Amino acid sequence: MHNLRKILPLYYDFYIVANEKSFSKAAEVNFTSQPSLSRNIQILEQELNLKLLNRSNKGIFLTKDGELLYKQLDAFFNQFIDFDTIHFNEMKGTLSIGSTRNIADNKLVSYLTAFTNKYPMVKIKIFTDSATNLNKFLMEHKIDVLIDYIPQINFKDVEVIHIGSFKTGFACSKAFYKKHGNKIKTLEDLKQYNLVLSGASRRRQWLDELLTPLDINFSPMIEMPDSKLMAEYVKQNEVIGYFVLEEIKDYDLCELKLDREMPLNHIGLIYHKDTIHPVARKFVELFENKN
């Protein structure tokens, strides 16, 4: 006898495909992907040792065994007034999100909470890496959506939703501020001290775009990929780091008040608009509704 908990969802996937006569329409109705539906029907055929569907250029067709099973399932499912009562119509699937560590720490949690509260059956995978690697993952469809500084990618099939902007600034430890804070008023003044900056990142690029016309070139003693690591180092050493203002407050550092506004860091949700699957589409809608 088959394990009912395992095989019943497979029956439902087959039922929806047979009912819609289309994998793409069935995937939309069932809030999943076409490959997932196809795989589940193959598993069902193996479990039953029956051929249920035939495919051609004109669409999909039920075999005789498929027609018999469909009629039995149709009679079964129509006994329920509302499929939601047996949890077949809840969204399911996997959502893969890419983000740099700094952005994930600042921006991702509130959206994840809202999404998981609404769609508790969706599995979520978070990938944190360098911006370069994450862009590659998105292009290779290894992740569904990317939350990153913008603009990072300029491809026709990629959509970008602006989701926030962060002010930036230079900061140091409280002890360092007491000794030197009143002496540091300009970007030129910063050149006299040891600096810690992020490496090859969009945040660093925006800073360099500000400095280049002013003929200012910083040579940081250390480049770090992670704001938390940078903050801990700044606290323990007589150095100055470059942060988002919210990070300066969170890490209990002292902002250096300069005579010039630092660059805004713009954050966006980036995804493939033509190939996004239904689960990821629902996640994107959270950002669309808040903007």
Among 54, 86, 118, the domain-final residue is 86
Last residue of a domain, one of 43, 71, 86: 86
Predicted pLDDT of residue 81: 42
Give bridge partners of residue 19 from the DSSP assignment: none
What is the model's pLDDT at position 153?
53
pLDDT at 118: 82
Same domain, 120 and 99: yes
**Whether residue 134 is found in the same domain as residue 48:** no
> Domain check: are 153 and 187 in the same one?
no
Here the CATH number for the domain that contains residue 274 is: 3.40.190.10
Q: Is the pLDDT of residue 175 over 90?
A: yes
pLDDT of residue 88: 43
Question: pLDDT above 70 covers what percent of the chain?
Answer: 88
Query: In the predicted model, what is the mean pLDDT of residues 270-280?
Result: 84
Residue 236 confidence (pLDDT):
95
Tens-place pLDDT, residues 63-84: 999 999 988 888 777 655 444 4
Note whether 100 and 75 are same-domain residues: no
**256 and 173, same domain (yes or no):** yes
Q: Which domain holds residue 98?
A: 93-165+267-289
The three-state secondary structure class of 288 is helix
Look at the block and give the residue holding tokens 């029907």: 41
Give yes or no for residue 237 having a pLDDT over 60. Answer: yes
User: Token pair for residue 130?
Assistant: 């360098």
Q: Do 149 and 224 reside in the same domain of the chain?
A: no
pTM of the shown model: 0.60
Question: What is the total count of domains within the chain?
Answer: 3
Q: What are the Cα distances from residue 8, in Å, to 40, 93, 132, 150, 284?
A: 11, 16, 42, 44, 30
Distance CA 183, CA 168 (A): 20
Average pLDDT over all residues of the chain:
84
Please tell me the predicted confidence (pLDDT) of residue 65: 92
Do 267 and 163 meet the contact criterion of CB atoms below 8 Å apart? yes
Hunting for tokens 């992670």 — which residue is that?
A: 226
Find the angle CA(177)-CA(179)-CA(180) to the nearest 5 degrees: 65
Same domain (yes/no): 275, 137: yes
Question: Is the domain of 28 the same as that of 160?
Answer: no
Lowest mean pLDDT among 49-53, 169-173, 252-256: 49-53
Q: Name the more confident of 211 and 93.
A: 211
CA atoms of 133 and 248, how far apart (whole Å): 27
d(CA 95, CA 183): 50
**Torsion angle defined by CA atoms of residues 159, 162, 168 and 173, in that order, rounded to the nearest 10 degrees:** -90
Q: Are residues 17 and 157 in the same domain?
A: no
Q: Which helix (H) or strand (E) holds 173?
A: none
The half-sphere exposure of 115 on its side-chain side, counting CA atoms within 13 A, is: 25
Residue 172 sits in a domain of what CATH number?
3.40.190.120
Q: How confident is the model at residue 291 (pLDDT cuts 50, 70, 90)?
A: low
**pLDDT above 80: residue 263:** yes
Per residue in 125-166, pLDDT (tens digit) is 999 887 778 888 888 888 999 998 886 556 667 888 888 888
Residue 186 contacts residue 260 (beta carbons within 8 Å): yes
Q: Is the same domain home to 64 and 97?
A: no
Q: 3 phi and psi, to 5 degrees?
A: -70, 115
pLDDT at 277 over 90: no
Q: Which of 58, 86, 114 finishes a domain?
A: 86
pLDDT at residue 210 is higher than 50: yes
276 or 171, which is more confident: 171
CATH of the domain at 76: 1.10.10.10
Q: What pLDDT band is residue 89 in, cutting at 50, 70 and 90?
A: very low
Claim to verify: residue 80 and residue 132 sit in the same structural domain: no
Does 198 share its domain with 151? no
Element (H, E) at 162: strand 158-166
* Per-residue pLDDT at 1: 45
Which two structure tokens, joined as six digits, stand for 142? 């290894």
